[in-house]
Amino acid sequence: MVNNATPEYNLLFKLLLIGNSGVGKSCLLMRYAENTFTENFFNTIGVDFKIKTTTLDSKIIKLQIWDTAGQERFRTLTSSYYRGAHGILIVYDVTDQDSFECVKNWVSEVDRLANDTVCRILIGNKCDREADRKITFEQGADLAKQYEMPFLEALAKTSFHVEEVFNVITKAIDEKFAKNQQTQTSFSNKLKKGSTLEGGPKTTSC
């Protein structure tokens, strides 16, 4: 039987939140997925995930967002979640120098474990705590530029830039997906015409 029902979504993207323990990954996820916030968040044990459906350019996109534990003892468990991720959100706490310095380690993890095509974004969380701030906006932006990824400061407590963070990474993934689709179509058309990858002459076989 043919199912004529409208599909629930057009695209499914897997996102991964990474960063040191206590930087606010779970708070960012809860604010985005459920628009809730609590000061009394316990550290994530292993992994947790939420589903959020959003719309981009008339396309319905389902986001499967995985929240990983930042503690070293869970690293072996959480490393498997890098595979198949379309987007990775690297989070640090603007009041925690160590969490910022560890960004380079998290980037190395992404380079080692994730697909080459994965999209990345750097997030400086807890940006309302100016009296305790250790990392300036400019430092965050410079580091993001060094690793060629977008950068935003955010605040899960008030939802400042939380929606924007996920919109930016979703749009980046969608654009890369569309570009890959175009490349595959172009490649298929070349094969149909009998041309080689190097653009050489048509070949025949007998």
Write out pLDDT tens, residues 105-138.
Answer: 999 999 999 999 999 999 999 999 899 999 999 9
The mean pLDDT of the chain is 82
Q: What CATH number has the domain bearing residue 33? A: 3.40.50.300
Name residue 127's amino acid.
C
* Residue 190 within a domain: no
pTM to 2 decimal places: 0.80
User: Which residues lie below 8 Å from residue 180, measured CB to CB, with a gap of 6+?
Assistant: 117
* Residue 27 within a domain: yes
Sign, CA dihedral 126-83-118-144, equals positive
pLDDT value of position 83: 85
* Residue 153 within a domain: yes
* Residue 41 within a domain: yes
* Residue 52 within a domain: yes
- pLDDT at residue 73 is higher than 50: no
Domain of residue 64 covers 11-179
81-96 pLDDT, tens digit per residue, is 888 899 999 999 999 9
* Residue 32 within a domain: yes
Give the closest residue to 113 by CA, choosing from 161, 145, 146, 78: 78
* Residue 195 within a domain: no
- pLDDT at residue 3 is higher than 90: no
Count of domains for the chain: 1
pLDDT value of position 8: 86
* Residue 70 within a domain: yes
User: Which residues lie below 8 Å from residue 152, measured CB to CB, with a gap of 6+?
Assistant: 121, 122, 123, 124, 161, 164, 165, 168
